[in-house]
Amino acid sequence: MPKIFRDPSFDSTLDVLREGYPFLYNRSQRFNSDIFQIRLMGLPAICLHGAEAAELFYNPKLFIRKGAVPRRVQTTLMGLDAIQTRDNGEHRCRKEMFMALMGPASRQRLMSLLAEQWQRYAHRWEKMDRVVLFREAQEILCRAACAWAEVPLAEEEVSQRARDFGDMVDGFGGVGPRHWRGKQARSRGEKWMRGIIRAIRKGQLPVQKGSPAHMVAWYRDTNGELLDVQMAAIELMNATRPIVAIATYITFAALALHEHPAYRQLLRNPAEDYAELFVQEVRRYFPFTPFVGALVREEFTWHGFEFPKGTLVLLDVYGTNRDEREWQDPEVFWPERFRQRKPSPYDFIPQGGGEFLTGHRCAGEWITIEALKQAVAFLNDGIRYDVPAQDLRYNLTRMPTLPASGFVLTNVQATGKGARAALPMPAAGSEKAAAMAMGCPFHKG
């Protein structure tokens, strides 16, 4: 039986903080292996890299998520005991609720709301000397997400709510003040969402049937019981917060347009949906998720390597999207690579991998792609602007990372073009049909 390479460090926790995104990728390259072992916070962890390893990792018969997500991530990013920490039938049914929110009509409505906000902000920016795109995009996404979900959002609280959503994301990889800001933001957000859930259930806040707020408030678990108010609040936030997180990808997309202006004309070609290629390359090339974790369900052997029950396993997301066996010149920004090959659910995993319906792949991936395409169209044709001298570097040791300046625009002029309400990608009906086949009670009756 082969031995797993072991990192010589007694504990790699500080190395993860020092190296950031490339930590697992660096060791995979150093050991020339897709599997190796480290100690993280004093405990052994098996690390995996590459498409074949990703297919293993997303096998629900071999791994569970419950207990794998650190409490510090739950108390900032996703909420305690949220969908990302569930397994088996409970996860499938809760996931189906989220997939129902991502149906074609729902996505189209969100894109229409976003288009309105991009145009509104374009005229606002004309009056501003300096626009920080990241912060402005957070507000745009927050306004549209809340309107889409039918979550009431007063004008005077837009800035704080958008900042709180952003701090929840920023806090998961931080220590000290960053982490505490994330926890405080989540506490405020959950209190806000609890009030909304209570108001809906008491009939004090009418919401349209089928809206995210309605579906979460009245969702029943596998035992036929309503989610408790706290859990419903967490899941309603998990329907809105990730939309605001798309601001990171939008900022990186603006950086890509700035650094590769030749793609601007290709994006205007009506004969091809070049935006699809462009945004997929943004998602592959720029750092978003460093790695994800799970626990071994029952002991098993893979390629001769033993995986003891209960062992923490980490999958290298950042490095798998840069695997030279799958991606030609992976350190080059090159959208055309997506014209040449269609990625699999395991070699292209910027927001997690596996199958949408039965696995842990992000339910909001379709929304991310469409929102990014819309934002790229807006930045390319909806406004004209200058990019002044600024620090556009992003630090891979900081998780999550972003161009240091947040991408500053000046001399903005609206053109009235660009931010279309893009049509949804997947075929209609597939989400519900698959859920019915799985026997999920969410769509029964």
Would you list which residues are annotated within the binding site for heme? 362
Q: Which two tokens stand for residue 75?
A: 């108390």
DSSP 375-391: HHHIIIIIEEEE--S--
Per the annotation, binding residues are 362
153 C-beta neighbours (distance < 10 Å), count: 17
Give the torsion sign (CA, 49, 53, 59, 60): negative
Look at residues 308, 292, 294 and name the one whose alpha carbon lies nearest to residue 399: 292
Residues 6+ apart with CB under 8 A from 42: 11
Query: What is the rounded distance in angstroms from the CA atom of residue 221 to the CA atom of residue 227?
Result: 7
Burial 323-355 (b: 16+ CB within 10 A, else e): beebbeebeebbbebbeeeebebbbbbbbbbbe
The SS3 call for residue 140 is helix
Query: What is the rounded distance in angstroms from the CA atom of residue 420 to the CA atom of residue 381?
Result: 11
Which helix (H) or strand (E) segment holds residue 226: the answer is: none
